[in-house]
Amino acid sequence: MLPLLMATMVFAFKGFVAWLGHPLGYLVAFLVYWIGWCLIVPMVMLGGLRPLVDLFREGQPRFGRPA
């Protein structure tokens, strides 16, 4: 998965910067990274939005209440 991430992001950064210029192209590629690789890919791998949100919920202690 890491080689795919690296390849797509190299092309995204180079392509968007060449198309839109330095500051805007960089920001658009950064949004592609966060929306695509940090939201959509985990949602697909986990099976939806609910399991992704559940990763950030506070869980119950496994061994009772701490002292």
Domain ranges of the chain: 2-54
Residue 10 CA: distances (Å) to CA of 15, 26, 31, 51: 8, 11, 14, 29
Q: Greatest CA span in the chain, whole angstroms?
A: 58
Considering the entire predicted model, what is its pTM? 0.70
Indicate if the pLDDT at residue 43 is higher than 70: yes
Question: Tell me, what's the pLDDT at 14?
Answer: 94
Amino acid 55: pLDDT: 78
29: pLDDT strictly greater than 90: yes
- Residue 53: pLDDT band by 50, 70, 90 thresholds? confident
Tokens 């986990």: give the residue.
Answer: 46
Q: Rounded to whole angstroms, how far apart are CA atoms 5 and 12?
A: 10
Calpha distance 5→20 (Å, rounded): 22
